[in-house]
């Protein structure tokens, strides 16, 4: 087997939450391009199905679309059951679904706080609980939690986002310790700014945009293919001895 063969995902099945746009769409396409069949979720079924159809056309892989709110355990369980019924396995879980809030701490309402916690922190837990039994039974699995550089460092006007993304890092470590014996690796990826719909408000403000660029040693935002290649690495056998890791994908932001 050549070293490049370890990056192939032929015969694998991946589940990507929040896969209908931005980083999730890019990651789903990367996994399919590497050989996996992929299920993607979104709270908007039309958007999700359009992305699934596009990825299927470009990769010739089977791509399933689901409308699911990851903060609702019953919806998550139904989604996982359907994927398992169709493919018989879930090898890769990418916990990508997330929301942000840019209120100051004093202006943050209990409702907005809870929404971020439910999606960013409880959602990954529910998804892991839904897929882990199959992974344990088969003694194989890859769970990749999409955190953020703001899970590693503080940032103003982001209390719920930084809290949940930081919590996700420690949850990643806990799962790695619990399930390493079952052949399951669990890692967290911490992207910096990429050109996604979630980041458009930042990019459209020249002063704010430049303030981010000034803090990135490589002097630019990330290109979407860069996150796809990193996800394929973490999902593949090429990363089989990496677990419990926090991996910044940030152009050097957190090196300072």
Catalytic residues: 161
Here the tokens at position 112 are 């907005």
Within its chain, how far is the Cα of 45 from the centroid? Answer: 19
What string of DSSP letters covers 155-195? -TT-HHHHHHHHHHHHHHHHHHHHHGGGTEEEEEEEE--BS
Q: Burial level of 63, CB count in 10 A (0-12/13-18/19+)? A: buried
What Rg do the C-alpha atoms of the chain give, in angstroms?
Answer: 17
Round to whole Å and give the CA distance between 83 and 14: 9
Within its chain, how far is the Cα of 252 from the centroid? Answer: 20
Distant-in-sequence, close-in-space partners of 210: CB < 8 Å, separation ≥ 6: none
């Amino acid at each position: 087997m050549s070293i490049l063969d370890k990056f192939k995902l032929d015969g694998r099945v991946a589940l990507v939450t929040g896969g209908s746009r931005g980083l999730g769409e890019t990651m789903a396409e990367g996994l399919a391009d590497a050989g996996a069949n992929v299920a993607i979720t979104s709270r908007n079924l039309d958007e999700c199905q359009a992305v699934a159809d596009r990825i299927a056309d470009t990769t010739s892989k089977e791509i399933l679309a689901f409308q699911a709110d990851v903060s609702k355990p019953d919806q998550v369980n139904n989604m996982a059951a359907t994927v398992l019924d169709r493919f018989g396995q879930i090898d890769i879980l990418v916990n990508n679904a997330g929301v942000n809030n840019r209120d100051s701490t004093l202006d943050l309402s209990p409702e907005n706080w809870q929404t971020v916690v439910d999606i960013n922190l409880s959602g990954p837990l529910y998804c892991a609980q839904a897929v882990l039994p199959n992974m344990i039974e088969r003694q194989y699995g890859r769970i990749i939690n999409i955190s953020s550089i703001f899970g590693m460092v503080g940032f103003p006007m982001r209390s719920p986002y930084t809290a949940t993304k930081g919590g996700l890092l420690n949850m990643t470590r806990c799962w790695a310790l619990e399930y390493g014996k079952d052949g399951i690796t669990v890692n967290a990826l911490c992207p910096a700014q990429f050109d996604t719909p979630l980041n458009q408000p930042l990019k459209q403000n020249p002063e704010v945009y430049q303030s981010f660029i000034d803090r990135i040693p490589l002097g630019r935002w990330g290109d979407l293919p860069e996150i796809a290649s990193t996800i394929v690495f973490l999902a593949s056998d090429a990363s089989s001895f990496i677990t419990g890791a926090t991996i910044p994908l940030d152009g050097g932001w957190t090196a300072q």
